[in-house]
A and B are shown apart, each in its own frame.
Chain A
Amino acid sequence: MSETPPPSKSEARAKFRRTLVQVLVVQAVALAVLAFLQIRYGS
């Protein structure tokens, strides 16, 4: 596996912001699935 050249500062910042949004979406989905399991199957 070889290293790629580093992205520019603005590219890296834009990537950070995009990743941050994705993180929030994935957490929301994960928590929603867990909540669904608890509501649907919880004792």
Chain B
Amino acid sequence: MHWLNWVVVGVYLVYVVVDGIRKSKGTDSLAGFFVANRSLSWWVVGLSVMATQLSAITMIGTPGQGATDGIRFVQFYFGLPIAMVILGVTLVPFLHGSGVYTAYEYLERRFDAKTRSLTAFLFLLSRGMAAGTIIAAPGVVLSAIFGIPLSWAVALIGVPTVIYTMVGGVQAVAWADVKQMFLIVFALLAIVVVLIVKMPVNPDDALRIAGATGRLETFDFSFDLTETYTFWSGIIGGTFLMLSYFGTDQSQVQRYLTSRSIDEARSSLLMSAYWKIPLQALVLLVGIGIFVYYQFVRPPLLYNPAHEQAVVDTRGAEYSALQERYEEMFSLRSDAALATANAEADTESAAGMETFLEREADIQGIRAEALTMAEEVTGESSRDVNYIIPRFALSELPIGLAGLFIAGVIAAAMSSISSELNSLATTSIIDFYRRWARPEGTDEHYLLVSKGATAFWGLFACIVATYAATLGSLIEVVNRFGSFFYGSILGVFLLAMIPWAKGRGAFYGLIAGMSFVGFVNFRMPEIAFLWHNVIGAVTVVVVGLVLSGFGPRNAPSASDTA
């Protein structure tokens, strides 16, 4: 990468740390450190909510998904606006109004200590691992692209994030999120502009080429439980997932607990509802644009430069032969793509499209051979979807803008990790340390251990990141982690809003929900993971209500009360 691009990345990293430390004013108490004294405006919280959800996985994995699979992934987010509206009138007033630091604290007030501790433990388990994968996604890509060890790439992202999160608490995190969100959107728009300027065909022709390969098929109305992304899995499964993520996951709940009022908390969530689908569609369209651009400008046969080098080093002759076939087939496909775009009559168009699709299948066949070769040589997964957009940015964006894109990827990672670290520290201290180990400590003491907990979780996430590198599609990995627990935890919060539900029903309902999701996951793997959220939530509510109907009414015991 050109030195000027490195300067841009360096300036960003220094700025984010210095600004984070500046924003630590007023965080010298537990309420300041964990909920910013409930003083933030709706738009700050709203952007923080969005930046937390928009991770580096979205920046690099989603355009890659658009390039290879098209726009249908956007269906995953169809439930988000619905979930935000439901949360605005249900859980948000409960949680914000109760003055808690964590969502799980509320569960003890409503049920008992063991339900609180179990849900808090599940959060620490799933989000602790997820924080690792969130660093790993950009870490692996930056390491391969710049030829630096993975641990350096992980440190580049992790260390500045830990510093400003540890020093400035949630206030620094929220304000950093705001600036990072602007940087991310700017970097994406820069790619859109470059694509429009450099595209060899006009937008209408580009869309025709993308459409011919099925990449503009957004809606799949089939009610098929085995299909991951359909309209129904997005609307039903997605609503449950988003209800759980935004309503019960401390990394998101903590964002709106910093709002000045319940109404501002609601408005902050609606900001996500407003932008998420258009933004996600834009990110996928960027990937589709890159796919069309690469019909006319030859992309590398393998997008992962580290794998490409390994194959060249060990099976050079074989790879060269494959490369020759690829170059030959590429020019044939380019001609076919151009013919498809320029076709005027319907019959001419249909014939051109058929030839184009045949050439496209040939290219994919050659790519599959190269990927198999890379897998055999490296012993790693050779899936290179996450490398498409960084390779494009570094080769096609002007100097300076390419650095800004890399800074945007790092910003996207930081904005998610900082919220995760902040919320992991909050849950560790509020739901475990203060609840069970040292209930009578001073504010100063809790503040000190909270900073220690932030550093601990930062270190843990970096270690997980170095081992999560070989996991398959990172988008699905993170979502799968969540789906295993999310639905069941949502079920407990739904039970909390039903007046006759009891602690015993909530606790055993939660165990039943997770067990059933585990059973479905292992025994019926064909059921798409988005449905796990529905299955978990419904099981917890049904089992919880049945169990609440039996036995004596359980008033929380003295030992159970905080």
Per-residue interface assignment for chain A, residues 14 to 33, with 1 indicating a CB less than 8 Å from any chain B CB and 0 otherwise: 01100110111011001101
- Top-10 shortest CB links A-B: A41-B211, A12-B263, A34-B218, A6-B260, A41-B207, A19-B270, A30-B278, A37-B216, A23-B273, A41-B216
Cβ–Cβ < 8 Å partners of A1 in chain B: 175, 178
Cβ–Cβ < 8 Å partners of A6 in chain B: 260-261, 264
Contact of A12 among B88, B175, B178, B267 (CB under 8 A): B267
B520 contacts partner chain A, Cβ-Cβ < 8 Å: no
The answer to whether A15 and B214 touch (CB under 8 A), given A9-B261, A30-B277, is: no
State whether B216 touches A16 (Cβ < 8 A). Answer: no
CA distance A27 to B273 in the complex (A): 8
State whether A35 touches B219 (Cβ < 8 A). Answer: yes
B85 contacts partner chain A, Cβ-Cβ < 8 Å: yes
Task: Enumerate B259-285 residues with CB–CB distance to A below 8 Å.
Answer: 260-261, 263-264, 266-267, 270-271, 273-275, 277-278, 281
Please, how many residues of chain A have a CB less than 8 angstroms from a CB on the other chain? 27
Contact of B281 among A15, A19, A34, A43 (CB under 8 A): A34
Cβ–Cβ < 8 Å partners of B88 in chain A: 16
State whether A42 touches B217 (Cβ < 8 A). Answer: yes
Cβ–Cβ < 8 Å partners of A34 in chain B: 71, 74, 218-219, 281
Q: Is the interface of A mostly helix, strand, loop or mixed?
A: helix
CA distance A24 to B84 in the complex (A): 12
Task: Determine how close the nearest CB of chain A comes to the CB of B477; give it in whole angstroms.
Answer: 27
Cβ–Cβ < 8 Å partners of B85 in chain A: 20, 23
CA distance A37 to B175 in the complex (A): 37
CA distance A27 to B77 in the complex (A): 11
Contact of B266 among A16, A38, A40 (CB under 8 A): A16
Nearest B residue (CB) for A4: B41
Contact of B218 among A3, A16, A38 (CB under 8 A): A38
CA distance A16 to B93 in the complex (A): 14
The answer to whether A38 and B216 touch (CB under 8 A), given A6-B260, A27-B81, is: yes
Cβ–Cβ < 8 Å partners of A19 in chain B: 267, 270-271, 274
Cβ–Cβ < 8 Å partners of A9 in chain B: 261, 263
Task: Determine how close the nearest CB of chain B comes to the CB of A22; give it in whole angstroms.
Answer: 7
B156 contacts partner chain A, Cβ-Cβ < 8 Å: no
CA distance A4 to B264 in the complex (A): 13
Cβ–Cβ < 8 Å partners of B214 in chain A: 42-43
Cβ–Cβ < 8 Å partners of B263 in chain A: 9, 12-13, 15-16
B527 contacts partner chain A, Cβ-Cβ < 8 Å: no
Nearest A residue (CB) for B270: A19
Contact of A26 among B40, B207, B274 (CB under 8 A): B274
Number of A-B pairs whose CB atoms are under 8 Å? 81
The answer to whether A3 and B39 touch (CB under 8 A), given A26-B278, A42-B216, A43-B211, is: yes
B373 contacts partner chain A, Cβ-Cβ < 8 Å: no
Task: Determine how close the nearest CB of chain A comes to the CB of B256; give it in whole angstroms.
Answer: 13
Task: Determine how close the nearest CB of chain A comes to the CB of B80; give it in whole angstroms.
Answer: 9
Cβ–Cβ < 8 Å partners of A20 in chain B: 85, 270
Cβ–Cβ < 8 Å partners of A12 in chain B: 261, 263-264, 267
CA distance A23 to B266 in the complex (A): 13
CA distance A6 to B211 in the complex (A): 48
Task: Determine how close the nearest CB of chain A comes to the CB of B490; give it in whole angstroms.
Answer: 22
A-B contact pairs, 17 of them (CB 8 A): A1-B175, A1-B178, A4-B41, A6-B264, A15-B267, A16-B266, A20-B270, A23-B81, A23-B270, A27-B277, A30-B277, A31-B277, A34-B281, A40-B207, A41-B208, A41-B210, A41-B216
Task: Determine how close the nearest CB of chain A comes to the CB of B97; give it in whole angstroms.
Answer: 13
B151 contacts partner chain A, Cβ-Cβ < 8 Å: no
Nearest A residue (CB) for B209: A41
Nearest A residue (CB) for B40: A3
CA distance A31 to B74 in the complex (A): 10
Nearest B residue (CB) for A33: B281
Task: Enumerate B300-354 residues with CB–CB distance to A below 8 Å.
Answer: 353
Task: Determine how close the nearest CB of chain A comes to the CB of B232; give it in whole angstroms.
Answer: 15
CA distance A33 to B284 in the complex (A): 14
CA distance A3 to B39 in the complex (A): 9
B511 contacts partner chain A, Cβ-Cβ < 8 Å: no
Cβ–Cβ < 8 Å partners of A33 in chain B: 281
Task: Enumerate B1-56 residues with CB–CB distance to A below 8 Å.
Answer: 39-41
B463 contacts partner chain A, Cβ-Cβ < 8 Å: no
B213 contacts partner chain A, Cβ-Cβ < 8 Å: yes
Task: Determine how close the nearest CB of chain A comes to the CB of B468; give it in whole angstroms.
Answer: 33
Cβ–Cβ < 8 Å partners of B178 in chain A: 1
B528 contacts partner chain A, Cβ-Cβ < 8 Å: no
B192 contacts partner chain A, Cβ-Cβ < 8 Å: no
B212 contacts partner chain A, Cβ-Cβ < 8 Å: yes
Task: Determine how close the nearest CB of chain A comes to the CB of B159; give it in whole angstroms.
Answer: 26
Cβ–Cβ < 8 Å partners of A24 in chain B: 81
